[in-house]
Amino acid sequence: MQTTIEKTTPTHPVKPIILGKFTGAFGNFQAAAWTDLKLAGFESDIAHKIAQDYGSDLGNAMKNGTDFASKIGKAKASGESRIAISGKGSTQMSNTMALLRVCEVVAGLWREKLVTSYSIEGLSLKKEVVTYIEECATWASEQTYE
């Protein structure tokens, strides 16, 4: 598993980050991931960074995947139509994806009333995932927030 966080020096003024707000094609997926991470016990800023990385992972999976498709439904009289996007296949598991997978599993166990909390605190995560979380915390501490 690998996720690398690179430090860059901005060449233009940096806008403050609005925690939990994402733009772009995967913004809704990122917002859902941010919410899940918050419920799992992550601080808002760290959850934001992980959710940003998740959007990148989704984009890479779609770019590299071979089994992704879209289907556009018949237009209504108003001109509105539905679009369905599907895909499956395999991709390299990143630390971001592993962490969100843990959150999804714990959330499922919570819905089944097998655990009493969404929190993943106290779980022994792989060293690579723990290091990734620490890198996200460092990144988050260096940002400006609105």
Does a structural domain hold residue 134? yes
CB 84 within 8 A of CB 73: yes
Does a structural domain hold residue 20? no
CB 71 within 8 A of CB 83: yes
pLDDT for residue 72:
86
Does a structural domain hold residue 99? yes
Does a structural domain hold residue 1? no
Alpha-helical regions (H) of the chain: 27-39, 44-64, 95-111, 127-141
Does a structural domain hold residue 109? yes
pLDDT for residue 111:
92
Does a structural domain hold residue 8? no
pLDDT for residue 7:
65
pLDDT for residue 93:
83
Total domains in the fold of the chain = 1
pLDDT for residue 90:
67
CA distance 18 to 64: 30
Does a structural domain hold residue 17? no
Does a structural domain hold residue 84? yes
Whether the full predicted model's pTM is greater than 0.75, yes or no, is yes
Range of the domain at 100: 27-63+70-141
pLDDT for residue 133:
96
C-alpha atoms less than 13 angstroms from C-alpha of 126 in its C-beta half-sphere:
12
Q: Which residue ranges in the chain fall short of pLDDT 70? A: 1-10, 12, 66, 89-90
Please count the other Cβ atoms lying within 10 Å of the Cβ belonging to residue 32. 14
For the record, the structure tokens of 120 come out as 């993943």
CA distance 86 to 66: 11
pLDDT for residue 60:
83
